[in-house]
Chain A
Amino acid sequence: MDPTAAKLVGAGLAAIGAGMAAIGVGNVFGSFLEGALRNPGAADGQQGRLFIGFAAAELLGLLAFVVAMILIFVA
């Protein structure tokens, strides 16, 4: 395969990682909401943990974006 084409295909494949991270972020907020509706009194105290989970899940998607950008512009 032409190296440039291979780079672009790889960058496109990296988008799978971004989609996976979307599933992860959705899971974090969905599970939080599920728990929060069962016990609304405890929900406010857990908001910090919610955002820690969100940040951890989101970072992996952002890394996939970085991989795509490196493939397109740097490599």
Chain B
Amino acid sequence: MAAGGGKIDPMHQFEVQTIWDGFALGGHQIAFTNSAAWMVLAVVALVAFMSMGLKGALVPARGQMMVESATRFIDNMLSANVGPEGKRYVPYVFSLFMFILFANILGLLPLGVVGIHPFTFTSHFTITGVLAIMSFSIVLIVGFWRHGLHFFSLFVPHGTPLWLMWLIPVIELVSFMVRPFSLGLRLFVAMTAGHVLLKVLAGFVINAGNAGIATGVLVGGPSFLLMIGISALELLVAGIQAYVFALLTSLYINDAVNLH
């Protein structure tokens, strides 16, 4: 790694390590990795969060308010973007949103202080890609199931002049096929970039501190202040990326349900 400078390797945090060797299946090793462990942890945290809101009390307590405002948020998003049909997709989009949100925030937790190094599994394209493919297949299945071959009229917007028929469907097809990639890539790169930036700044602080008091105060101090600011920004990004993923999924579902 060229940009790391001293001994700090900002890419080390993204390494998938095996926790339990597992078994071999068709020549592939099926192992339990730290990535899988943090996915399980995200689901456990999510279940714990949701169980606060499942009492259904008439006068909601604090936990129930949090859960209800989260569900209301997704519910409003789908009814605004898809319409009354959108109610059916609330469970999927809500799970997607909460899973990504919990994953992003769990990966930001400063647990390295006590020796547990958080692994942000949304910073791996294999995971975000699979989430994007799930959204994309729901769009395809719903589109073909509801409209049959009429679904292809998605590629011909209303009012396309006849002499542009050779160009517009091609552009629309390309923009349609790029969707799963852009959806997965956005989340993966945003999380990776943020974590690399934080690690590089942390490397500045450590290396400057080792170089002596003067450099430690002059370089390490401002870097540390910047780290605090970037951490706040990363919390914002964690929320925004989860929101954008859910928002774009609901827009694509709208395309499949209502065709333009």
A positions within 8 Å CB-CB of B: 8, 48, 51-52, 54-55, 58-59, 62-63, 65-66, 69, 72-73
User: DSSP class of B's interface residues: helix, strand, loop or mixed?
Assistant: helix
**Which chain A residues lie closer than 8 Å to B81 at the CB level?**
48
- Asked if B248 and A55 sit within 8 Å, CB to CB, the answer is yes
Chain B 117-159 per-residue mask, 1 if CB under 8 angstroms from chain A, else 0: 0000000000000000000000000000000000000000000
**Which chain B residues lie closer than 8 Å to A48 at the CB level?**
77, 80-81, 247
A51-B247 contact given A62-B186, A62-B189, A65-B193, CB 8 Å threshold: yes
**Which chain B residues lie closer than 8 Å to A65 at the CB level?**
189, 193
Q: By the criterion of a CB under 8 Å from any partner CB, how many residues of chain B are at the interface?
A: 19
**Which chain B residues lie closer than 8 Å to A55 at the CB level?**
186, 244, 247-248
- Asked if B2 and A59 sit within 8 Å, CB to CB, the answer is no
**Which chain B residues lie closer than 8 Å to A66 at the CB level?**
185, 189
A54-B190 contact given A48-B80, A59-B182, A72-B3, CB 8 Å threshold: no
User: DSSP class of A's interface residues: helix, strand, loop or mixed?
Assistant: helix
**Which chain A residues lie closer than 8 Å to B182 at the CB level?**
59
B240 at the A interface (CB under 8 A): yes
**Which chain B residues lie closer than 8 Å to A51 at the CB level?**
240, 243-244, 247
Interchain nearest-CB distance for B199 vs A (Å): 14
B109 at the A interface (CB under 8 A): no
A54-B244 contact given A8-B2, A48-B81, CB 8 Å threshold: yes
Closest residue of chain A to B11 (Cβ to Cβ) is A73
- Asked if B247 and A62 sit within 8 Å, CB to CB, the answer is no
- Asked if A62 and B3 sit within 8 Å, CB to CB, the answer is no
Q: List 7 A-B contacts (CB under 8 A).
A: A8-B2, A48-B247, A54-B240, A55-B248, A65-B193, A66-B185, A66-B189
